[in-house]
Chains A and B, each alone.
Chain A
């Protein structure tokens, strides 16, 4: 699975869009990008995933560059409850026995 690189921390004003980048320059053609977040002391929570098209759900939007070497998770109107650590993971859909690996992610602080 491709390695990912994320900034260790970011901050955002409440009500503004939070744009969290992830670099996955070694991603291969069949690998998806998955995003999770972990609110303090809670278990990580799945947010969204995508292959090459932009994706949107009720939580966030995922923008993947055309060359697929990077992506951005967008929280359109960040709230204080979005303060969390955000993890970007890359994984192919094929093959069953992969081991999900989480790095340190990006610590997002949303301030009033």
Chain B
């Protein structure tokens, strides 16, 4: 049981390039999230999904797009990378069933470190 897997783990981009980060979970979780974390800061939510085929904006969505075509995968895209998007990106998922405290427990991936030059 792999949990949440993020690929790639590291990437260096030039300004203006595009790329996609993949988050895959094998726990049949409904909810998936993309966060970014900058040095000395907490986690800031970029986009999230409440189920297959749905996406919604979080706190800092500008410059990012997402897709959830399959329940197990949540993709984060950067169409035109900027140095301000240099960060560590974390994906998380949770089961999401109502009435169960355990359903709110988040499982995180190991992170993807992105540098934009």
- B74 contacts A by Cβ under 8 Å: no
B42–A96 touching, CB < 8 Å: no
CA distance A94 to B101 in the complex (A): 8
CA distance A44 to B109 in the complex (A): 8
Q: A43-B90, A105-B42 are in contact. Are A49 and B48 (CB under 8 A)?
A: no
- A59 contacts B by Cβ under 8 Å: no
Interface size class, chain B: 20 to 34
Q: A32-B101, A34-B104, A44-B90 are in contact. Are A104 and B110 (CB under 8 A)?
A: no
Q: Give residues 19-60 of A contacting B (CB, 8 Å).
A: 32, 34, 36, 41-46, 49, 51
CA distance A36 to B105 in the complex (A): 9
Encode contact with A along B19-33: 1 for CB under 8 Å, 0 otherwise.
000000000001101
B45–A99 touching, CB < 8 Å: yes
A-B pairs under 8 A by CB, number: 68
CA distance A98 to B96 in the complex (A): 9
The interface on chain A, measured as residues whose beta carbon lies within 8 A of the other chain's beta carbons, has a size of 26
Residues on the B chain within 8 Å of A98, using CB: 104
Residues on the A chain within 8 Å of B2, using CB: none
Cβ-closest chain A residue relative to B41:
A104
Q: Chain A interface mostly helix, strand, loop or mixed?
A: loop
Q: A43-B108, A45-B108, A49-B105 are in contact. Are A99 and B90 (CB under 8 A)?
A: no
CA distance A34 to B4 in the complex (A): 20
B41–A32 touching, CB < 8 Å: no
A97–B50 touching, CB < 8 Å: yes
Encode contact with A along B90-106: 1 for CB under 8 Å, 0 otherwise.
10101011111111111
Q: Give me the interface of B with A, judged by CB distance under 8 Å.
A: 4, 30-31, 33, 35, 41-43, 45, 48, 50, 58, 88, 90, 92, 94, 96-111
10 contacts between A and B (CB under 8 A): A32-B104, A43-B109, A45-B108, A49-B102, A93-B101, A94-B98, A96-B98, A97-B50, A99-B48, A104-B41
